[in-house]
Structures are given as structure tokens and as C-alpha cells.
Structure 1
Amino acid sequence: MNRVDYSKLESELKSDYLYVKGDYFIQNGQLDDANRTLDLFWELDPYDCRYNLLVAQLSFQEGNLDDARIYSKKAIEYDTQREVTEQALKLLAQID
């Protein structure tokens, strides 16, 4: 499999790529890699609901429940297409 050249991706594809990559790192406990990926995602679009969900999930993994709660709510607020609302609500239920 060839590596993805991030710099050559269009903006929408960059956000898709960063979401999948960030989710992979979080699910596999690679939290430092997830943080670096989310830094790139933030530079691209801090209002992307998927970015906010990943920050919430990462914060939860790190034990920062206040940030997990804040970013879960942001994910829901920014999710006009209901892409991540269900996941964010489930995370909120685990926090509260």
C-alpha cells in the first residue's frame, strides 16, 4: 500500500484523512500520535464536528472529563449532518 501524501490532498480529503487517522490512533492507544494528528486537524478546521469528537474521545482516554464533556457538546453543536452526534451522546453518557 502506498503512503498518502497529505500535502497533495484537497481540503475536504485532508479532513477525512485526519479523522480516520486520529480515530485509529485513539482506538489503538497511541495518544501522542493522536495529539499530533489533532493539531493538524485543528489548523485545518477547528469547527469540524469530527475534530471535536476526536478531542472529546482523546480527553476521555487521558482522564480529562471536563474537556471530554466540553468537546462532546461542541461536536453535537457543530454536527449539522448528524455524522457524530450519536457517538458524542454516548460519550457524554459515560462521563455524566
Structure 2
Amino acid sequence: MEEVENLVVNSILDGSVYGRINQINSLLDLDFVTETDKLHNAMDGWVRTVKTLQASISQRSGQNELGYRGMGMGMGMGMGIDFDDDPFVSMGDDFEVFSFV
């Protein structure tokens, strides 16, 4: 029985089997990955990358997570410059659309 468990553990670790071992009941709970799951995982990674890029751009422009320009050392140098004419247009809390007029 131990050999089978080791084989299953190695298969889970190398990604050839998706699932988890229920040692209490001596069961293998399998997870079936569909094309939709793969697409969802890829899009989730893309969203995390875009959020990281947004945070980097906001930091460089001196804008914090809430969209306010504060003491950050970005383009405004934290001097309280009025950016009402800023070409960056905020579209909600999660992302920004850049509009170059």
C-alpha cells in the first residue's frame, strides 16, 4: 500500500495527476482540469501581471493605490501639483485606461 501511495504522491507532484490524497479514508480525490480551467488560470495570471504593471506605473507617476497623488516621488515629485488636465482617465478601482489626447 505504501508503494502505491508513493507513486500517487509523485504523480501529483510532477503534475501528471491532479488531485489530493485523503489519508483518513485512503482515497484519491481527483480534480479534472478542463480547457476552461486552463483559460481561467491563464487569464488570472494575465490579470495579476496587469495589476503589477499598473502599480508600477502609478508608483512612477507619484499616484498611490487609491488614485491620489501624494508624497510619492514620481513625475509630480510629491509637490501637490494640480493634475486635472492629466491625460490618464480613471475607469474604476481595478484598472485605468490611458488616453493620450
Q: What TM-score does the superposition give when structure 2 sets the normalisation length?
A: 0.23
Which structure dedicates a bigger proportion of its chain to strand? 2
Which structure dedicates a bigger proportion of its chain to helix? 1
Q: What TM-score does the superposition give when structure 1 sets the normalisation length?
A: 0.24
Q: Indicate the structure (1 or 2) with the bigger Cα radius of gyration.
A: 2
